[in-house]
A = this chain, B = another copy of it.
Amino acid sequence: MYRTNTCGELNSSNIQQQVCLCGWVQRIRNLGGMTFIDLRDRYGITQLAFNMNTNAELCEQARKLGREYVIQVKGKVVERFNKNKSIPTGDIEIDVTEINILNASKLPPFTIEDHTDGGDELRMQYRYLDLRRNTVLKNMVFRHQLAIETRNYLNQLDFLEIETPFLIRSTPEGARDFVVPSRLNIGQFYALPQSPQQFKQLLMIAGMDKYFQIVRCFRDEDLRADRQPEFTQIDCEMAFVTQEDVIQLFENLFIHLFKKLKNIELNNFERISYHNAMKRYGSDKPDMRFDMQFVELNHLLQHRDFKIFNEAELIIGICAKGCGSYTRKQIDELTDFVKRPQIGASGLVYVQCLDNNTFKSSVDKFYTQEDLQNLAAAFNATSGDLLLILSGKTEKTRKALGELRLEMGNRLNLRDKEHFKAVWVVDFPMFEWDEETQRFYAKHHPFTSPKPEDVALLDSGDIAKINANAYDLVINGVEVGGGSIRIHDRDLQKKIFRTLGFSESEAQQQFGFLMNAFEYGAPPHGGIAFGFDRMCAVFNGIDSIRDFIAFPKNNLGRDVMINAPYQISNEQLKELSIQINYSEKDE
């Protein structure tokens, strides 16, 4: 036993006890007669005291320690003269009688403090030091707690956690797979799962009834800021359930998790259709912490002299409460914001609602004060408000105004990180048209069940109108999970594959085992999957999932700490019967 106690547990009830502590030197304060060391471990900080008058040799020894040295100290718990009420151990300190250096430390490349001087790249390279910082540590603790609470909650509801394989088979539908060459089967590859989708469906066919798994998944995509090539999901599936059953059960899970981990009552889940989410918020993951719904304005603003509006497919606006006094500069900022290439609006029309029912707008020459008054009425705007209006093609304009809405939410502090608002987005369209490849894709995935009342549309050909029994859970504008009721009928599944452009033999070759399984008593089933990394971030009001991953990869998919990926030996390549085509990419 290296220690009797951790650095987080001693308090005034331990005074006079002989103890032995281990930890890292956080800080040394040399006050002449006294030297104090903050000794840190995962559990907290305990102050060590050394007195030059009573033990000069030991005090000298203490002064020579460096930051992040690992030491073991023995001594007596004593009452502290200057108590520190901000930490649990603040009433006591250790009157040290012995120091053992367990390991020295070079000066760390950045400070191990909540607000460190280390840049991103440096902290990732020395992630093992970054993880010592309290802010990162507490994220890891939170992640652990979220997992164990989720597991116990689902276990108590008779869910079984069943592990599905990682070495599976590549399927062309969906994102790009990571593949693993098979040494024993030349020219063949395993794929790493993008999700256990087909296995969880097979588990339902196997009669497992309620399945979950907290499981790593993999996608070889070009990485964006907040994507990782490997990520974790809470994957769930149930047999004999309707969409309503799934939604209710997992709503209760989230209520439980928020209560247990954040002491927050998250009871006010809303429901909104995909159609309405797009229409009112310009997003299928609306941030509903604040209202600021879109108002459609074609009937009010078209058929005047303003050509841009007359030619627009859609004119929509939002009302920013209390922003009527925005300066020219502030309005220019908003115009610049919507004109950024990612958003792509060509301009922004504004109307300032002034006192006494007067208005100032960027389109004053096309509209009378009365027109603008009618307009303001459509928003229920009052004096002091600012109306922001975009126009153009429907989908693009909605998305652009959705971004502007979020920006105004930020400016107006309507997106409080301590406030949580959950919404189920339902009634997703089954298929999505892709302009580039000129074909329909499954909006969720090809195993999603169309709504029974829409199945007939598969034959009539109007497939864009088919809605799916699919649902997303959105919290504070972040999609934390999504799922669907699945197809359990072989013929319907074949029809969906056909609609997606698979030939009979392609479908059979790639999904044959699932389609065959449908012939042996597949129960109705459905499920959901939650992005676990993202859940951790959302619960803590943090944007980056990377803060909740112990060893994340950078935007190029590299682990800069271990320097992976890396070359492998020629022997390894030969054993795998593969070789590298260095030229191929240059063509």
> Are B577 and A580 touching (Cβ within 8 A)?
yes
> What residues on B are CB-neighbors of A549 within 8 Å?
163
Complex CA–CA separation, A519 to B131 (angstroms): 16
> What residues on B are CB-neighbors of A245 within 8 Å?
1
Is residue A455 within 8 Å, beta carbon to beta carbon, of the partner chain?
no
> Are B202 and A128 touching (Cβ within 8 A)?
yes
Contact stretch, chosen from A186-194, A261-269, A339-347, A365-373:
A186-194
The 8 Å CB contact of A170, one of B182, B230, B566, B581, is: B566
Main secondary structure of the interface of A (DSSP, over half): loop
> Are B187 and A517 touching (Cβ within 8 A)?
no
> Are B521 and A103 touching (Cβ within 8 A)?
yes
Is residue A309 within 8 Å, beta carbon to beta carbon, of the partner chain?
no
Complex CA–CA separation, A517 to B585 (angstroms): 36
Complex CA–CA separation, A198 to B563 (angstroms): 13
How many chain copies does the complex carry?
Answer: 2
Interface string of A433-468 (1 = CB under 8 A from B): 000000000000000000000000000000000000
Is residue A15 within 8 Å, beta carbon to beta carbon, of the partner chain?
no
Residues A176-209 near B (CB distance < 8 A): 176-192, 198-199, 202-203, 205-209
> What residues on B are CB-neighbors of A162 within 8 Å?
140, 143-144, 550
- Give the size category of A's interface with B: 35 or more
Contact stretch, chosen from A55-63, A146-154, A273-281:
A146-154
> What residues on B are CB-neighbors of A169 within 8 Å?
559, 562-566
> Are A42 and B208 touching (Cβ within 8 A)?
yes
The 8 Å CB contact of A128, one of B137, B520, B553, B561, is: B520
Is residue A104 within 8 Å, beta carbon to beta carbon, of the partner chain?
yes
> What residues on B are CB-neighbors of A524 within 8 Å?
2, 102-103
> What residues on B are CB-neighbors of A216 within 8 Å?
163, 166, 216
The 8 Å CB contact of A575, one of B69, B70, B176, B185, is: B176
Some 17 contacts from A to B, beta carbons below 8 A apart, are A6-B209, A24-B521, A102-B523, A104-B521, A144-B155, A151-B151, A163-B232, A167-B559, A170-B566, A177-B572, A178-B180, A179-B572, A180-B565, A185-B565, A186-B580, A189-B568, A202-B551
